[in-house]
């Protein structure tokens, strides 16, 4: 990871946790007369740029939607390429993450992956577990509905075993069983590619997240693009159910 830190002072307010749907790899390639696989390979470069810049700017956590539970419906050749690309990227980037104090973890249902890929994920997580800088979370074979269902299943199992009563279950307890329970909820959600939807990503965690949609395709998303999203975030007033007057101190909270 390289590059200067001069842009840090230009960001008025940096989000603690950023979540990104990286959309547009295939369209990026198609528009250039290239196979979709070329777009995915170029998208890896955009991931590296984004991780590096988030780390420089002081973002605490970055969650990237790499492969959804619905992506298995894509052509088999593309799915195979995505799995292979994920495997090689894990192996090539882990050392770079360690050198830059970035801790990696993956969320999602790993059971559908090959044993080789599951081992590589576990090894990369283990090798970066002592890193204390940016938390990099990769969502693979992940879906927001799956996340909610698995949290509900865990709580139901505790009730069935007599360890918990239904009356004890509230939003806070439920949230502690969802993915990313140890991280602050995302402050900023970014989706590239021009579509305006969350696509089953972090449905529980995005309740009060600010949403930013970019027309740029993911391989074209660069440092300036990220800073544009951060600048837009800095201009917003986050009220969390309160009024603007309460936040300004003009009325009692």
The domain segmentation of the chain, as residue ranges, is 13-142+186-235
CA distance 12 to 18: 16
Mean pLDDT, residues 193-219 taken together: 98
Report the pLDDT value the prediction gives residue 133, as an integer from 0 to 100.
96
Active site residue 71: yes
Q: How far apart are CA 148 and CA 220, in angstroms?
A: 32
Q: In the prediction, which pLDDT does 239 show?
A: 59
* pLDDT, mean of residues 108-123: 95
Catalytic site residue from 25, 71, 100, 170: 71
pLDDT at 246 over 60: no
Across the beta sheet with 103-107, the strand order is 103-107, 135-142, 61-68, 17-21, 188-191, 210-213
pLDDT value at 106 more than 50: yes
For the cut 70, the answer to whether the pLDDT of residue 9 exceeds it is no
CATH number of 13-142+186-235: 3.40.1180.10
Each residue's pLDDT tens digit, 157-186:
999 999 999 999 999 999 999 999 999 999
CA distance 36 to 30: 6
pLDDT score of 105 more than 70: yes
Q: What is the DSSP letter of 184?
A: P
pLDDT of amino acid 237:
82
Tally of CB atoms within 10 A around 62: 23
Out of 23, 135, 147, 187, the active site residue is 23
Q: Is the pTM of this model over 0.75?
A: yes
Judged against a pLDDT cut of 70, whether residue 253 lies above it is answered with no
- What is the mean pLDDT of the segment spanning 194-222? 98
Dist. CA 144–CA 222, nearest whole Å:
27
DSSP code for 111: G
- Where is average pLDDT lowest: 145-154, 208-217, 225-234, 236-245? 236-245
């Amino acid at each position: 990871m390289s590059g200067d830190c001069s842009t840090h002072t230009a960001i008025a307010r940096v989000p603690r946790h950023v979540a990104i749907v990286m959309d547009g790899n295939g369209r990026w390639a198609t528009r250039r007369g290239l196979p979709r696989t070329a777009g995915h390979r170029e998208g890896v470069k955009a991931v590296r740029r984004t991780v590096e810049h988030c780390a420089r700017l002081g973002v605490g956590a970055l969650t990237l939607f790499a492969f959804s539970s619905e992506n298995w419906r894509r052509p088999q050749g593309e799915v195979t390429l995505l799995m292979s690309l994920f495997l090689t990227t894990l192996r090539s980037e882990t050392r770079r993450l360690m050198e830059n104090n970035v801790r990696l973890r993956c969320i999602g249902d790993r059971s559908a992956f090959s044993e080789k890929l599951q081992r590589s994920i576990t090894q990369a997580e283990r090798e970066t577990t002592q890193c204390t800088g940016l938390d990099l979370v990769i969502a693979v074979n992940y879906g927001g509905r799956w996340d909610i269902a698995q949290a509900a299943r865990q709580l139901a199992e505790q009730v069935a075993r007599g360890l918990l009563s239904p009356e004890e279950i509230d939003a806070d307890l439920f949230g502690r069983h969802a993915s990313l329970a140890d991280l602050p909820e995302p402050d900023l959600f970014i989706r590239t590619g021009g579509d305006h939807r969350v696509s089953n990503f972090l449905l529980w965690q995005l309740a009060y997240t600010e949403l930013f949609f970019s027309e740029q395709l993911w391989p074209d998303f660069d440092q300036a693009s990220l800073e544009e999203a951060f600048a837009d975030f800095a201009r917003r007033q986050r009220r969390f159910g309160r009024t603007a007057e309460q936040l300004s101190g003009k009325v009692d909270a």
